[in-house]
Structure 1
Amino acid sequence: MKEIGKTVFFGAVGIVLATSLTGFFFPKDLEYWANLAFQFSIQKFGWFYLMATFAFLVFSIYLLFSPYKNIKLGNDDEEPEYPFFPWLAMLFAAGMGIGLVFWGVAEPIYHYSHPPMGMAERLTPEAARLAFRYSFFHWGLHPWSVYTVIALAIAYSQFRKGESGLISVTLRPLLGDRVDGTPGKIIDMIAVIATAFGVATSLGLGSLQITAGLSRLFGWEQTLQSNTIVIIIATILFLISANTGLDRGIKFLSNTNMIIALLLFGFVFFVGPTSFIMEVFTTTLGSYFKEFLPMSFRMTPFTNQKWLGEWTLFYWAWWIAWAPFVGTFIARISRGRTIREFVTGVLFVPSVMSALWFSVMGGSALYSELFENSNIVRAVDLDVSTAVFVALEKLPFGSFLGGIAILLVIVFFVTSADSATFVMGMLSTKGSLNPGNSVKIIWGILQAMIAIALLMSGGLKALQTVLIIIALPFSFILVAIIFSIHRSLSEDAMSQKHPFPEKGKLSKEKID
């Protein structure tokens, strides 16, 4: 086993294991206390989630046009470690993955049937416009700005300043050498715990969707036991992949992901209602930018609406909880890129891809509902995890497409968990670029345990509830990172010299 950071590793393992065991043996108690903490987080800090996420976006756009835009994440003469397309494939697969497949049909159709905050009559054209606008909002610039901020901070401190890959060291400009002591260990522990719960949420969603697909295609009964079996099998697969290394395992899976997703996307786009899809994309893009600021700051202090906590705040918490893992992973694969190149690739390209995905998958489903009497709305009301399969059934070769969708979820499942075990292993071994297999196996098993425990304690609702609680402490760390990276970039620009420090210089070898 590689040298581990004992405080971070054992502290994080203890908390995750204790939560898992509570969910196994006292599921109702975990559900009760999680709901209490959820209500506290939403009532007291809901505004903070909105303000912080908007701040991440403003800072990301500022970097694109700032005096620092041409600074490289590495030596001045370094070239990017990965070609552009494989780089995009890996960051997109890690950043969205299962969630995009799960909600690509379900979210716009659900909002069409249940308009956000009662802002339109259900099943009306205005409800449809609202549904796609909020889908773009929840999966567009805001979430990718969260990833942009943390990934840039990690890549800059690691490849430009010669620091380790720990998240705590991104705060050295603010905290100084205290990041090497107890404060730094607490920051890294929070990051590991947030990653474990964030990815566990996605694994839970993935298992729900895989069993829903198998039920639609083969009549496999959807139960807690079947979800557990799916999680266990997928865990075995991603542990095998995790032990093959970044270049062989994750890179191969990410490219496979992208190919399958593009094939499914292309088929639905060209065989489905192409003109309708493009009209949905175009009109939603316009309304998205028109309502951008109101959506970014909308709260309901006078009506006590629950919708915001169940949707927007849940999503912002989800992205923040994923930030340590996705940010660390994106940083690891982004060496040699300029800040302008990095921000463009991480913030804008995946946001457009997400919007297109919702337009194609959700637009095709809505067309079927409006003009072909498909009853997709009813299916989503009964079980959101079946949405994509019900929608695909209405197209030619529907059963085959359903099988492709299941395969896509499985590969996304394995890719996300594989990437997360690598990152948690790295954070647990003092920033090692080659965390030991035994550490990755431990984290892989714990991810599966927490996903199963949360499903036992309330299914999808429990996954959402716990995530908002876990993400809160890390959101404060992310805000501090904005100030820290800005200070470091300012010093770099003022010096007019960007040498890569010899002390602590990291080797450029690729992961085995």
Structure 2
Amino acid sequence: MSDGGAWGPTRYLILGLGETTMAYVKGLFAMNVFVESVPHEATGWGDMWQGWWTTFYWGWWISWSPFVGVFVARVSRGRTVREFIFGVVGVSSLLSFVWIVAYGGTALWAELLGPGGVSEAVSANVSMALFATFEAMEVGAIGVVAGVLGTILVTTYFVTSSDSGTLVVATILSEGNENPMFRHRVIWGTFEGVVAAVLLVVGGSAALSTLQTAAIIAALPFSVIMVLMCVAIVRCLSREHHKDAVDGVVATQ
């Protein structure tokens, strides 16, 4: 950016990454147990912290957990529990921190210390935030290239997410077959695309919001199953540890 000096926004982003990461670690427990009293401006539960953030995202990811869990378990076969946790939780979280700070921090820098214009673009159309950030960076042709690459990355994200969900749905409906028939994957993938397209054309964002609400509602009963699965995992790992200890004692005798 033109007024960022030799460091540009780099120093700002590095310091921001450290500051926000420490703030996240510091507030992680407090925000997870935070219970908000109804504020004066709230008109419903959706205006409260639990409604617009905690409940929505917990429910959203719980509803995704059968698909994500099966897919991640399949690609993680052969890994230890430590490697699994480090790769799925640790690495992905760190990369998310870097991604959010890199683009979000650059947008803040442009808005506060640069040419601005990002907030106006977001207010008009939130999907243009990334491209408005590239434009505010004032890097000429590099910004155009970055916009093209960003579009490709976003498209790849949605395509791979849909492909993963399609694979898991076909696997479940094929009674656990890890290699479901190709035509089944095509059929379910087509259905997913058709449903999404119809919702966008007929109801727009309102229809998608209704679908999201339905997903959150569906997550409630499955959350009980997830708790039971957590208990089962702890018991299974404890039993495995005990078995390894007994086998070790026997081997030394």
Q: Name the CA distance, whole Å, in 2 between partners of 1:401 and 1:279.
A: 24
Residue 194 of structure 2: which of 449, 466, 471 is its match? 449
Q: Deviations over 1:426-461 (max 9, x none)?
A: 111111111011221221122113323443334153
Instruction: Tell me the SS of whatever aligns to 1:431.
Output: coil
Q: Deviations over 1:311-336 (max 9, x none)?
A: 33222222212211111111111122
Q: Name the CA distance, whole Å, in 2 between partners of 1:307 and 1:444.
A: 36
Deviation at 1:344, TM superposition (A): 1.2
Q: Deviations over 1:65-97 (max 9, x none)?
A: xxxxxxxxxxxxxxxxxxxxxxxxxxxxxxxxx
Larger radius of gyration: 2
Instruction: Tell me the SS of whatever aligns to 2:111.
Output: helix
Q: Name the CA distance, whole Å, in 1 between partners of 2:167 and 2:75.
A: 13
Instruction: Tell me the SS of whatever aligns to 2:116.
Output: coil
Q: Name the CA distance, whole Å, in 1 between partners of 2:104 and 2:246.
A: 47
Instruction: Tell me the SS of whatever aligns to 1:336.
Output: coil
Residue 333 of structure 1: which of 75, 83, 88 is its match? 75
Query: 1:369: which partner in 2?
Result: 111
Deviation at 1:271, TM superposition (A): 8.8
Query: 1:435: which partner in 2?
Result: 180
> What is the aligned-residue RMSD (CA, Å)?
2.3
Kept after mapping to 2: 8 A contact 1:318/1:468: yes
Q: Name the CA distance, whole Å, in 1 between partners of 2:221 and 2:8.
A: 44
Query: 1:239: which partner in 2?
Result: none
Matched, 1:282 2:45: no
Query: 1:394: which partner in 2?
Result: 136
Change (3 A) 1:450 1:340: same
Query: 2:227: which partner in 1?
Result: 479
Deviation at 1:343, TM superposition (A): 1.0
Q: Name the CA distance, whole Å, in 2 between partners of 1:296 and 1:428.
A: 36
**% identical equivalent positions:** 39
Q: Deviations over 1:329-350 (max 9, x none)?
A: 1111112211111111111111
Runs of 4+ residues deviating >6 angstroms: none
Instruction: Tell me the SS of whatever aligns to 2:216.
Output: helix
Change (3 A) 1:429 1:272: farther
Kept after mapping to 1: 8 A contact 2:9/2:109: yes
Q: Name the CA distance, whole Å, in 2 between partners of 1:323 and 1:380.
A: 30
Instruction: Tell me the SS of whatever aligns to 1:298.
Output: coil
Opposite residue 105 of structure 2, the aligned amino acid is G
Deviation at 1:497, TM superposition (A): 7.9
Deviation at 1:359, TM superposition (A): 0.5
Superposition map of 1:408-427 within 5 A: 408-427=153-172
When normalised by structure 2's length, the TM-score is 0.83
Q: Deviations over 1:472-505 (max 9, x none)?
A: 2222211110011112222222222899xxxxxx
Q: Name the CA distance, whole Å, in 2 between partners of 1:332 and 1:271.
A: 43
Query: 1:466: which partner in 2?
Result: 214
Q: Deviations over 1:190-222 (max 9, x none)?
A: xxxxxxxxxxxxxxxxxxxxxxxxxxxxxxxxx
Query: 1:94: which partner in 2?
Result: none
Kept after mapping to 2: 8 A contact 1:272/1:364: no
Q: Name the CA distance, whole Å, in 2 between partners of 1:492 and 1:295.
A: 35
Deviation at 1:307, TM superposition (A): 4.4
Matched, 1:355 2:97: yes
Paired residues, number:
230
Change (3 A) 1:272 1:435: farther
Q: Name the CA distance, whole Å, in 2 between partners of 1:348 and 1:333.
A: 17
Kept after mapping to 1: 8 A contact 2:171/2:180: yes
Change (3 A) 1:330 1:439: same
Give ranges in structure 2 of 5+ residues lacking alignment: 1-5, 248-253
Deviation at 1:274, TM superposition (A): 0.7
Q: Name the CA distance, whole Å, in 2 between partners of 1:298 and 1:322.
A: 24
Instruction: Tell me the SS of whatever aligns to 1:496.
Output: helix
Query: 1:15: which partner in 2?
Result: none
Kept after mapping to 2: 8 A contact 1:454/1:462: no
Q: Name the CA distance, whole Å, in 1 between partners of 2:246 and 2:134.
A: 52
Kept after mapping to 2: 8 A contact 1:314/1:467: no
Kept after mapping to 2: 8 A contact 1:425/1:435: yes
Kept after mapping to 2: 8 A contact 1:281/1:356: yes
Opposite residue 486 of structure 1, the aligned amino acid is V
Asked which structure has the greater RCO (Cα within 8 Å, sep 6+), the reply is 1
Superposition map of 1:53-92 within 5 A: none
Q: Name the CA distance, whole Å, in 2 between partners of 1:280 and 1:359.
A: 7
Give ranges in structure 1 of 5+ residues lacking alignment: 1-269, 500-512
Opposite residue 129 of structure 2, the aligned amino acid is A
